[in-house]
Amino acid sequence: MELSKLIGENGIKLLQELNNPYVMEIIEKYVEFCKPEKVTVLDDSKKSLEYVRKLALENGEEKALKTKDHTIHFDNYYDQARDRAHTWILLPKGKTISKHIETIDYDEGMKEATEIMDGIMKGKEMLIAFYCLGPNNSKFSILAFQITDSATVIHQQNLLYRNGYEEFKHLNGSKSFFHVIHSAGELNEDMTTKNIDKRRVYIDLNEERVISLNNQYGGSSIGLKKLSLRLSISKANKEDWLCEHMFITGVHPKGKDRVTYFTGAFPSWCGKTSTAMIECQTIVGDDIAFLRRDENGQCVAANVEQGIFGVIKDVCPEDDLVLYKALTAPKEIVFNNVLVVDGGIYWLGMGKEFPKKGFNHSGEWYEGKKDKEGKIIDVSHKNARFTLRINELDNADEKADDPKGVPVGGIIYGGRDSDISVPVLQSLSWAHGVFIGASLESESTVATVGDEGAMEHNPMANMDFLVVPLGVYIKNHIKFGDDLSNPPLIFATNYFLKEKGKFLNAKNDKKVWVLWMEGRVHNGYEAIETPVGCIPKYHDLKNLFKEALNKEYTEEDYIKQFSIRITKLLKKLDRIEQIYKGGEGIPETFHKHLEQQKHRLKDAMEKYGKDVVSPLEF
């Protein structure tokens, strides 16, 4: 069938107004491959937004919930997270990037992609939507469009990203944009992906495109999320700026007329969302940040997104009041893979008693239900999600959409270990901070594949998304800071220290660590220099605990939390050294900081004659 008949007069008009032959060429190609029954082109209008919302309900991808404007979407039971094993970077034959990055021969990958795509949208409607990564009309802006047969994907992207159709008109025929082709594939009676065995994601850095097939999970189907993150990382490393897996938050110290912006990179289950949403602070973004230099040589950051595709597990009134309030109010929200009972929803850790039966990602659910592997099926999935606009939150920052971005005062790297690192420290320099970020580790939990307690290396919390050699990535971080007139301070946090199986910190103690970091940015507190970085003084923390949490903080707690555990830190450095040993292109500065930190720790052990040194002794 001719393209004009599939798209219709209005769709053709919308595409012609873009005056971009590259966009038209891409659409024609994938219409021919995928063979949809109908093609709908969407613009920035309210009419387009309403069309997609209605379509998602009409075709059964979403169902209305009891609360106004709330809907529920379910992914296939076996499609609840990113599929690392079937996600590849397309490269010419014989080329590699790094031992850490999964690649596939370009011709082999495209041959398989074309075979899977052949007719994958038969009987379905193809949707084409245009977006802007970063604030509109900004130096941060990257334009992108997505082709998909899933109305819920476009619905959620409309919540997550700023409109881009009108900005595409300003490209003047340029091919400077990303594009994503996605299909959920054949659906079963529950409207979930049927051919999970053919689930594939191909990332083409040269063409700045992603092809994602036979999946529904948002991290794989919402193309501007983690898929375009890889394209952005590639672009940033070519153009001398940073694309990072980071939140952006505004810290507002009590009694001071200022706001200090921080970015933060934390691996999963290390406190990223809860740090971005600390009480009395404001949120710019929770997941991906672009960092650039402004005209004065200062670091500025912008949120790639305008919404949140967040993990809902453990969101409860006690720990996340602002977010919980938003999720239970009549706002436009898409929930994914939670339990539904009579139009109400339930999720793990919400602080409510659960019903004995309902409907969830496994279909009809009842207490004690098992899957075909014999595993008990939870009320909702541990990776169940919600999608909403940031401006629906009471703590949305007033500069969340500022085209200039926000000035960055500090960068936080958050790891997780039970017996090694102190709760908060400041790096000794920008390059030392990059070393800390590149050495980031996360202790696996019961929710992580692998042995509980094993340490997983995750540089800058970005390992899953790297598409450039690790050495290049680290070198570009060092250079970025060296070229700044006043680089942000770099900090490290660890909220998970334990003694005899019990956490040494309460969940809300992180508010104190953040306020201390904010004070350090403005030279408000002195610090103690240790072999691994600068740590707080006891009396400053005691005062902050009283002011921020109305809580007594004892010297005994301080000593337990901030003692330097030399042998365990040296073992960590040995692990990091082995990981980077022989790594191609790892900058000499990184190895220098590793050796210097080793020497400082060994000197401290010799000087103090002990393995664990109290902060009061430094």
Residues belonging to the active site: 270
Q: Are strands 103-105 and 87-91 parallel, antiparallel or unpaired?
A: parallel
Evaluate whether 228 touches 208 at the Cβ level (below 8 Å). Answer: no
Are the beta carbons of 376 and 369 closer than 8 angstroms?
A: yes
234's enclosing H/E stretch is helix 228-239
Q: Rounded distance, CA 395 to CA 102, Å? A: 39
Q: Please name the amino acid found at residue 166.
A: E
Is 86:104 a contact under the CB 8 Å cutoff? no
Residue pair 441/456 in contact (Cβ under 8 Å)? The answer is yes
Residue 467, both tokens: 């598409």
Give the CA radius of gyration of the chain. Answer: 25
Following DSSP, what letter does each residue of 44-101 receive, concatenated?
SSHHHHHHHHHHHHHTTSSEE-SSTTEEEE---TT-SS--GGGEEEEE-TT----TTS
The closest alpha carbon to 213, from 83, 53, 59, 387, belongs to 83
Q: Which amino acid is at 530?
A: T
**Helices and strands counted in the chain (H then E):** 17, 35
Residue among 217, 161, 505 nearest 382 (CA): 217
Pairing of β 247-251 and β 299-303: unpaired
